[in-house]
Amino acid sequence: MKKYKHTFILGILLIGLSAALHALHYLLFKDLHHIMVFLVSDLAFIPLEVFFVSVVLERIIEKRDERVVAKKHNMLIGLFYQEIGNFVLNHFVKSDRNIQNLEFKAQIDFKWDTQKYDELKKCISAHKYAINMSSVDLKSLDEALTKHKELIVNLISNPTIHEHGQFSEVLMSLFHLADELKVHHLDDLVQSDLDHIQVDSERVYHLLAMEWVSYMSHMQVDYPYLFLTAVKNNPFDFRTSEIKELEALKTY
């Protein structure tokens, strides 16, 4: 309320000052015609000034702010995949019974464009996720999620992340999986518990894989030197690290 009061008082003072200066001009030069010409001319420019300031300039600033926020957001996603995302994704990819359906479609390099990433995202979205739980090291997964739980919580509470609903879903599903692994006795899981964990794991796997495609696309454009490492560590490409890196370098 005080803010609006101060703005109102400032407006009154500025209008009063303008009126006083126009009155002084008239007293000194007795030229009302000159005053009215410039007054009407200035008033005529006000709509244009409002348009350029409130629409054009504001949109330019908004676009710049969006780019800054997007860059910060992608940096946080990159941190997440480097610290824990790639580890979890690798775990599930190696245990996926149907992974051969994605293996050759995800051999990413610097030749890739937006269309290629869109095609891969469609393939990953339609993929039939089928984790073989007997080959998943749940203890190792539990330890990794426990170690990085603070990072996950911090990312969930970060306001920048809230603007990106899909990545928020990744974090929440991963947080839920971490809780499920904690409440069950991993050395003595009954089939119903294992089925529950499998459902949660496949949800995480799907969301992680979808977001991973966007992450790789961003890395290729903004951080090509980091993209090389990401290509080498591509969990969907089972060629050796050396072959993957050499293939990427050919198109660098």
Instruction: Provide the pLDDT for residue 163.
Output: 66
* pLDDT tens per residue, range 189-217: 888 889 999 999 999 999 999 999 999 99
Summarize pLDDT for 125-144 with one digit per residue, the tens.
999 999 999 899 999 999 99
pTM of the model as a whole: 0.75
Let me know: does 131 contact 205? Beta carbons within 8 Å. Answer: yes
User: Coil, strand, or helix at residue 97?
Assistant: coil
171, two tokens: 């974090």
Residue-range domain boundaries for the chain: 2-60, 70-250
Asked whether residue 1 carries a pLDDT value surpassing 60, the answer given is no
Query: Which ranges constitute the DSSP H helices of the chain?
Result: 2-29, 32-51, 58-80, 86-94, 100-103, 114-126, 138-147, 149-156, 159-162, 165-183, 191-222, 224-232, 241-250
Could you tell me the pLDDT band of residue 248, with boundaries at 50, 70 and 90?
confident
pLDDT tens digits, one per residue of 219-241: 898 888 888 888 888 999 888 88
**CA atoms within 13 A of residue 90's CA, in its CB half-sphere:** 16
